Structures are given as C-alpha cells and as structure tokens.
Amino acid sequence: MLVGLTSLVYLCGESVGQLPFPSNRFPVIVDGTLLRINDCSGRRFFLAGMVDNKPNSGCQLSLYDHAEMETQIVNSKAIGASAMRWNAFLKGKDLRWDADGYVVGMCDSAVEHLKDGCDLAYKHGIVLQIVLSTAHFLQYGWDGQTPENVTRVSNNKFMYEDSVATQAYIDHVITPITEGIGVHPGLFGYCIINEASGMYYDEDAETGTWSDVKVHLSSFQKFVNRVASAIHDHQSGAICSVSGVAEGLYQYSDSVLISAGGKINGIMDIHQIQFYPTNHGEDWSPYLHTPQEFVTAYGGGLKPFICGETPIEGMINNGRGKFKGTEEFGLEEAYTRLWKLGYSGGFAWSYNVYAGMDITKKTTTDSAYTNFYLNYLVNCDFNGSQCPNH
C-alpha cells in the first residue's frame, strides 16, 4: 500500500513541498500519440485504474452516495491508481423524457453529483473519465420488458436516431453537464458511448451485437459527432472517446464522424479499445500489438490509445476462450506491456469485482497497481511552479 507516500499525489498537491495543481485547467492534454500532464513539463500521463460499477456510484446518479464514491477513490489512490472510469449513466435510467420521448433533463442533482465525483478525484489525486452512455441503454435488463424499461429503451433509441431528439439530449444533458462542471482538474473527459457495437443492427455488426433493440452504425456516428462537438464547444480540453474493439477503429475516425454529422470539432481525441480474452481474438489484443499496428490494420488514424476495459484477474487465460496463445500473465504485466508498447493507459473491470475479492486475490491486485506505479508512474507528481501562467 502506498498510503503516506507523498510522491503519489501528483495532481492535488497535498504533500509538503508541492504546490497544488491549478484549479483552472484540465489535468491531462493530448500530445500527438501520447497523453501528457498539463503542467508544461512534458511528462507522459498514463491512466491506470478500475471501472466504477458500484451500485450507489457507478450505475445510477440518482443513487449517488458521496461516501461510497470517496471510499473507492481513496482506496484506488492508496494502491497506486491514477484514474477511475465512472459508469455514471450505466443504463440511461437517469434521463428524463417528455410524453413524446424527447430528453428534457436528468434526475435531481445529477450535475451536482458529477461535479462532486470530480471534486473527490481532485482532492485525492486521481482523474475521472465519465461514461455518458452504454450498450445497456438499449437493453431491458434483468427485470425484462416492463413498461418502464420499454419506454426507457424506446426513448434512448429515439435519442440516438432522430436529429431533433439528439439535440434535445445535447441541450438538456450535455450542455448542463459541461457548463456545470466546467474546466476541472479532476476530470479527464468523457466516453460518449461504451460498446456502441453492441447496439448495431446485424448488418453493421462485424464485431458482434447483443442489445435488445438495435440502431444503425450511421446513426451512432452522427450522434457521436454532434455530442463531441457540443462537449468541445462548452468544455474545451475535455477528452472524448468511444469505446469498442480494435477492429472497429475506422468506424469513428475523424473523416467518418465529420461526414456523418458535419461538425468539424466533433471528433475523438483518443482511441479507446477493449479486450477480453474469452471474447476477443489475439488480433485485437493491445498486449500483443502497438497502436501503430492497430491503425495499420484497422484505420482510425494515430492518436493516444487506451484500453477501456480488460479483466482485473489475469489478462491472458492460457489458451481458453478466443485467445489461443499459451502465455499467461496478470495485471502488472498487462499494464507494463501497455506502457512499453506506447499506450496511454488502461482500465480493469472492475472496482465491484475488486471489492468482492478474497484477501489473496486482493493482495495480488494491490501489488500489481503498486508495483506498476513505483516502476513507471512515481515521477508523475505535479509541481505547480512548472507553468504558473499556463
């Protein structure tokens, strides 16, 4: 555990001899194919942490619990994590609609909860990526096709497909969030859709589909372009992405998005891919391929790459599932490979899994983050004197 080590606090500057990270800038910037700390030092930044899917912080904002959020941020920081991926809108249940299906707002205190999470991240020295929508938006869920779920899914589909409905979402969700949070030193940025390919119609779904209701890829491309443009308009510096598998990189390239939605600034700042060895083949593994190799194979253009999701308990399952290799390695080696191959981070699934681990597994996971931090991230502390007038 790293509790008490002052070098861990590279953003909030709580330790003796460090000036606090300025509150009037985002903590991370894009620089070519890498991420860097936004302090003019030129130092590489790397996202290392877990996905938040805890019931009262990572699933629904209407259930947000300040104490639960702070606990997992503190615990993540203590073992050496630098970031957390926050599934704040996991199923789209916190959106509010009128009788015609247009988004008219969010649950009570939604923006306040999001800002509180960012404040906690800044206070304790990590950064947050907020996930705005997921493939669960078009899934009925465990309780099935209840009237409430049918309405929710139908309205979410309408939001993705209809231009006026998309604008209503931008006006009543994206604009309040971006203007309410503003430039924030605890916010990395947004994943606009997680696993969008899971909601494609079959003819668009080269990489697989599984939602209960489908939308065409072209509609998602237009939606993403317009939402990213609105984020960049209102919160310039927040880093946008869509998370999927490597084979789908071309689907959200700059030219494709601009052609779909017409917004020049509605592009992705980074590439975000996922890898689960039980579901994905070796050709999609970020642990075996460089970002350049992925761009050569699947398009998308060179940008910083991060791994959006990967298992927290072992990355390569010794030939099981779709991964046919024989090499097996765990979380520490996975992060080390991402660093050495030129990636800018990775998130493990998930904090909820981590919280339920037995002591042996948790100790192994803690050591993975701690050792990776000490070997690669220990010099990523922030010195506020670097760029006072930035």
The pLDDT of residue 18 is 44
**Residue 167 in contact with residue 103, Cβ under 8 Å?**
no
Residue in 99, 81, 87, 88 with CA at minimum distance from that of residue 158? 99
The pLDDT of residue 324 is 60
Domain residue spans in the chain?
Answer: 22-376
**Residue 242 in contact with residue 280, Cβ under 8 Å?**
no
Predicted structure pTM score = 0.93
Tokens for 165?
């409905």
From residue 213, how far is each of 88, 192, 273, 342 by CA, in Å?
21, 19, 23, 37
**Residue 185 in contact with residue 122, Cβ under 8 Å?**
yes
Taken as a whole, the chain contains a residue count of 390
The pLDDT of residue 53 is 87
The pLDDT of residue 182 is 97
Give the HSE-up count for residue 15: Cα atoms under 13 Å, Cβ half-sphere.
15
Give the class (CATH, top level) of 22-376: alpha beta
Reading phi first (left if > 0) and then psi (alpha if -120 to 50, else beta), residue 318 is in left
**Residue 194 in contact with residue 130, Cβ under 8 Å?**
no
The pLDDT of residue 40 is 84
Tokens for 328?
């097996």
**DSSP codes of every residue in 224-289:** HHHHHHHHHHHSTT-EEEEEE-GGGGGGG-HHHHHHHH--TT-S-SSEEEE--TTTS-GGG-TTTS
The pLDDT of residue 150 is 97
Tokens for 118?
């960012």
Q: Which long-range contacts (CB under 8 A, 24 or more apart) does 214-222 make?
A: 214/138, 215/138, 215/157, 215/160, 215/161, 216/161, 217/251, 218/260, 219/160, 219/161, 220/160, 220/193, 220/196, 221/251, 221/252, 221/256, 221/257, 221/260, 221/261, 222/163, 222/166, 222/260, 222/261
- Amino acid identity, residue 231? I
Residue in 208, 227, 205, 225 with CA at minimum distance from that of residue 217? 205
The pLDDT of residue 13 is 36
Question: Mean pLDDT for each consecutive 10-residue tract of the chain (390 residues)?
Answer: 42 40 87 93 94 84 94 96 95 96 97 97 96 96 94 98 98 98 97 96 86 97 98 98 96 98 98 91 91 98 96 68 67 96 97 95 97 91 54
Tokens for 246?
């490597």
Torsion of CA 276, 280, 284, 287, to 10 degrees: 40
